[in-house]
A and B are shown apart, each in its own frame.
Chain A
Amino acid sequence: MSIATIFEIVLAAVVLGLGIWTTAVRETYSATVGFVAYGLLVALIWVRLDAVDVALTEAAIGGGLGGVLLLGAAARLRNAELMVTETPGKVTRVSAAALSVLIATALAGAVLLLPDSVSTLAPTVVAHAWATGLTNPVTNVLMAFRAMDTMLEKVVLLLAIVGVWSLAPDSAWGGHPGPRHQADPNGVLAFLARLLPPIGIVVGIYIFWTGANHPGGAFQGGAILASMWLLAIMAGLTDTPPVRSRRLRFILVAGPGLFLIVGLGGLCFGAAFLAYPPALAKPLILGIEIAMILTIATTLGLLLAGAPERSAKR
Chain B
Amino acid sequence: MSLACDIITIAAVSAGAFFFLAGTVGLLRFPDTLTRLHALTKADNLGLGLVVLGLLPQAGSLRDGLKLVSIWLLGLLAGATVSQLIARTARQGEAAK
Contact = CB atoms under 8 A, between A and B. Distances in A.
In the complex they form, whether A and B have CB atoms below 8 Å apart is answered with yes
B92 to A, nearest CB: 13
A84 B85 CA distance: 31
Nearest to B74: A199
Interface size class, chain A: under 10
A196 interface: yes
Contact of A195 (B70, B77, B88): B77
Contacts of A189: 81, 85
B33 interface: no
Nearest to A189: B85
B74 A188 contact: no
B74 A191 contact: no
A195 B88 CA distance: 20
A229 to B, nearest CB: 18
Contacts of B77: 192, 195-196
B84 interface: yes
Interface residues of B, number: 7
Contacts of B70: 199
A188 B77 CA distance: 11
Interface string A166-184: 0000000000000000000
Interface string A184-203: 00001101100110010000
B16 to A, nearest CB: 17
A196 B74 CA distance: 9
Contacts, number: 13
Interface string B58-97: 0000000000001000100100010011001000000000
B51 to A, nearest CB: 15
Nearest to B82: A192
B17 to A, nearest CB: 14
A188 B84 CA distance: 8
Contacts of B81: 188-189, 191-192
Q: Name, among B77, B81, B85, B88, the residue most crowded by chain A CB atoms within 10 Å (CB to CB).
A: B81
Contacts of A192: 77, 81
Interface in A35-89: none
A96 to B, nearest CB: 34
A99 B77 CA distance: 47
Nearest to A196: B77
Contacts of A196: 77
A196 B79 CA distance: 13
A189 B81 CA distance: 7
A196 B78 CA distance: 9
Contacts of A188: 81, 84-85, 88
Interface of B: 70, 74, 77, 81, 84-85, 88
Question: Lowest 9 CB-CB distances: which A-B pairs, in order?
Answer: A192-B81, A188-B84, A188-B81, A188-B85, A189-B85, A195-B77, A191-B81, A199-B74, A196-B77
13 contacts: A188-B81, A188-B84, A188-B85, A188-B88, A189-B81, A189-B85, A191-B81, A192-B77, A192-B81, A195-B77, A196-B77, A199-B70, A199-B74
